[in-house]
Structure 1
Amino acid sequence: MNSPSVLHTPGFAHYALAWSPFHTTRLALASSANFGLVGNGRLHLVSANPGPGGLPSVSYETQDGLYDVAWSEVHENQLVTASGDGSLRLWDVMLNDLPIRAWQEHTQEVFSVDWSNIKKDTFASSSWDGTIKLWMPDRPRSITTVQAHHSCVYQALFSPHQPDILASCSTDGTLKLFDLRTPSYLTTGPNTNTFVNPLSAAALTIPASGTEILSLDWNKYRPMVLASAGVDKLVKVWDCRMVKLGETPQTQLPGHEYAVRKVQWSPHRADVLATASYDMTCRVWTTTPAPGRGQLLYIHDPHTEFVVGCAWSIFEEGILASCGWDSRLNVFRV
């Protein structure tokens, strides 16, 4: 295990990070002043190499706190951010000026953004206003609005296997899958993009927890397998083809002492995932433990505040990044 590289950004609590799909060591980091409760935000661009020493950083200021960030799948220098004022902004890292595009449709905080790795001209946002919106970078307005949940939607992610399948998680304790090809998503007129029968249009609803679900992720190798995590401190693995009402998950991973804020499957191993928690740790798990070895593989605990983000390197196996409210980004090798 190498010593972690650390980026410290005093005054700005980190909320999310994302590795570039084009550059092996490039990271984007979304952060907020005053722990995201009030004040401005900052987008950091970082070149990360695990090992001793600090990380160089370029930053952009925003008027409101940033909660999430996603890289474009078609343009190596562009990325989109989600903001506490309900806005989305598209940035070009080659331009030091204002964002190149901004959208303001959500009526409450935007808590997640996800760029489709199949339909590479489309990204999704989810908000505390209960909606998921689909966007194209060159369109002035969203192309579809999904009335996903009765309550705030913490995360919405495109399936990495099927371009029209979208999964979401919410304060209501459910995971929902939406099939964007269904007739329910047909527009009702020339000037609207909200589909006809929103809440019944979920292809599948999984009552995954009695408490809030804060994060989910698709397995990169097993279609229709999802992991969820949240306030109940558990990581749960679901096979959406096998779920029936009231059914228990395939796998449960207990061990975190407080709510789990982020879960992400490894892009290199079908049975490995990482989590970030309010217990100030980032942990690595396997769903197929070997004899004599538990499901918990590793605990990363140098953080001194809530750990709210973690992400695996896309290009190099075993490299993990974590970020938290202690204003520190750690990049380390598991």
Structure 2
Amino acid sequence: MNNSGRPPPAVFHTPGFAHYSLAWSPFHSSRIALASSANFGLVGNGRLHLVSVVPGPGGAPTINLDKYFESQDGLYDVAWSEVHENQVLTASGDGSIRLWDIMLNDLAIGVWKEHAREVFSVDWSNIQKDTFVSSSWDGSVKLWKADLPRSVTTIQAHHSCVYQALFSPHQPDLIATCSTDGTLKIFDLRVPTYVAGPNANNFTNPLSAAVLTVPASGTEVLTLDWNKYRPFTFATGSVDRMLKVWDCRMIKMGETGQVGGLCEATLPGHEYAVRKVQWSPHRADFVSSASYDMTCRVWSTVPNGAQPQLLYIHDAHTEFVVGCAWSLFEDGVLASCAWDGKLNVLRV
């Protein structure tokens, strides 16, 4: 691991707004959306920033602000539409989800509010492209269609805060969640028990049976990600400072269904809780992590028993690093965001 000799990151600063999440556009190689909150997201309004990474003087990248939208509550997550290049979702502290069109001004073009507490994650399916999912501190996960006024399915995923819910990049009917209860759970929307009866609906009878439960940590699991090349391989990050890699093909039966999952790698090194993990879209063995220790790190996790390696530490932030995301178009380009109000884009 050697950080010397690398060009400095491009930096974009939003004074007064701490970042919570970022996402690269699946349509434009240079466009990033940032979910931000005033007062570190504890109280006050939020802001959605749209920025572009462009070549600057001498070829070094710079970051330009294209537009921003104000919200009445803090924004905790952001996800680009998979069907419309100018539309982006945000998850809000007031329990709402909003859809914005970046070519328009002021108001969101869609608002959904069914969650009883803060919405902490949103994810747009890259297979079933008209569907997105949200997770909330109220313990539920909801599936949505952008053209419908109400959710189409509710999953009572956990009995406590659900920090993240993500569609599988391999199978459109699988959703993985992580929670304060220390578990990673997989839900299969095709399971017959999910079919509502003639006098029931998913609002009065939410789905609750996971097809697999992985006891991933004795502490809260704050983040997860599906490996883009190895189905049923996950990375998780938790309050115990550990980044772990799971092979969820290795399962066993428990009293409440299938449990287990083989932990094929444990990656110690962070000094505080791991807040975000994301696998590279270009390499099966590269994963990035963001932590409250104010660093963003890149690891190599070659399977089949090889020793994981810490490849890179990005320590330019001065507050909690809560988001990291790989460029979808350019291998080795990583963005990080933090409570210091700074977005960094770097080449690792």
Q: TM-score, normalised by structure 2?
A: 0.92
The one-letter code of the counterpart of 2:108 is P
Partner of 2:329, secondary structure, is coil
Matched residues in 2 for 1:101 and 1:286: separation?
40
Correspondence 1:225-240 to 2 at 5 A:
225-240=233-248
Post-superposition shift, 1:187?
A: 2.3
1:311 aligns with 2:325: yes
Partner of 1:184, secondary structure, is helix
Matched residues in 2 for 1:105 and 1:220: separation?
31
The one-letter code of the counterpart of 1:263 is V
Q: Cα distance 1:16–1:10, how it changes in 2: closer, same or farther (>3 A)?
A: same
- Residue 241 of structure 1 corresponds to 249
Post-superposition shift, 1:146?
A: 0.3
Instruction: State the percentage of identical aligned residues.
Output: 71
Post-superposition shift, 1:288?
A: 2.2
Matched residues in 2 for 1:87 and 1:52: separation?
35
- Residue 9 of structure 2 corresponds to 4
1:24 aligns with 2:38: no
Q: Cα distance 1:294–1:209, how it changes in 2: closer, same or farther (>3 A)?
A: closer
Partner of 1:107, secondary structure, is coil
Matched residues in 2 for 1:296 and 1:189: separation?
54
Partner of 1:76, secondary structure, is coil
Matched residues in 1 for 2:82 and 2:121: separation?
16
- Residue 218 of structure 2 corresponds to 210
For the 8 Å contact 1:3–1:52, the answer to whether it is kept is no
- Residue 221 of structure 1 corresponds to 229
The one-letter code of the counterpart of 2:13 is H
Provide Cα deviations, 1:177-199, integer angstroms capped at 9, x if missing partner.
Answer: 00000122212346722485733
For the 8 Å contact 1:28–1:43, the answer to whether it is kept is yes
The one-letter code of the counterpart of 1:132 is V
Partner of 1:35, secondary structure, is helix
Matched residues in 1 for 2:89 and 2:336: separation?
20
Provide Cα deviations, 1:285-332, integer angstroms capped at 9, x if missing partner.
Answer: 00129xx99610000000000000000000000000000000000001
For the 8 Å contact 2:320–2:340, the answer to whether it is kept is yes
- Residue 299 of structure 1 corresponds to 313
For the 8 Å contact 2:20–2:76, the answer to whether it is kept is yes
- Residue 101 of structure 2 corresponds to 92
The one-letter code of the counterpart of 1:180 is L
For the 8 Å contact 1:216–1:228, the answer to whether it is kept is yes
Matched residues in 2 for 1:19 and 1:5: separation?
15
1:114 aligns with 2:123: yes
Q: Of 25, 36, 39, which residue of structure 2 is paired with 1:34? A: 39
- Residue 302 of structure 2 corresponds to 288
Post-superposition shift, 1:246?
A: 5.9
Partner of 2:193, secondary structure, is helix
For the 8 Å contact 2:31–2:52, the answer to whether it is kept is yes
For the 8 Å contact 1:185–1:194, the answer to whether it is kept is no
Post-superposition shift, 1:3?
A: 1.7
Post-superposition shift, 1:269?
A: 0.3
1:269 aligns with 2:283: yes
Matched residues in 2 for 1:52 and 1:207: separation?
42
- Residue 279 of structure 1 corresponds to 293
- Residue 48 of structure 1 corresponds to 53
Q: Of 108, 128, 135, which residue of structure 1 is paired with 2:137? A: 128
Matched residues in 2 for 1:75 and 1:203: separation?
32
- Residue 257 of structure 1 corresponds to 271
For the 8 Å contact 1:134–1:144, the answer to whether it is kept is yes
- Residue 167 of structure 2 corresponds to 158
- Residue 68 of structure 1 corresponds to 77
Gaps of 5+ in 1: none
Matched residues in 2 for 1:195 and 1:282: separation?
42
Matched residues in 1 for 2:174 and 2:307: separation?
35
For the 8 Å contact 1:188–1:196, the answer to whether it is kept is no
1:78 aligns with 2:87: yes
Provide Cα deviations, 1:63-115, integer angstroms capped at 9, x if missing partner.
Answer: 00000000000000001100000000010011113000101100000000000
Matched residues in 1 for 2:206 and 2:63: separation?
51
Matched residues in 2 for 1:326 and 1:288: separation?
33
- Residue 323 of structure 1 corresponds to 337
Q: Cα distance 1:300–1:277, how it changes in 2: closer, same or farther (>3 A)?
A: same
1:14 aligns with 2:22: no
Matched residues in 2 for 1:197 and 1:131: separation?
9
- Residue 332 of structure 1 corresponds to 346
User: How many residues end up aligned between the 2 structures?
Assistant: 331
Matched residues in 1 for 2:197 and 2:261: separation?
36
Post-superposition shift, 1:58?
A: 1.4
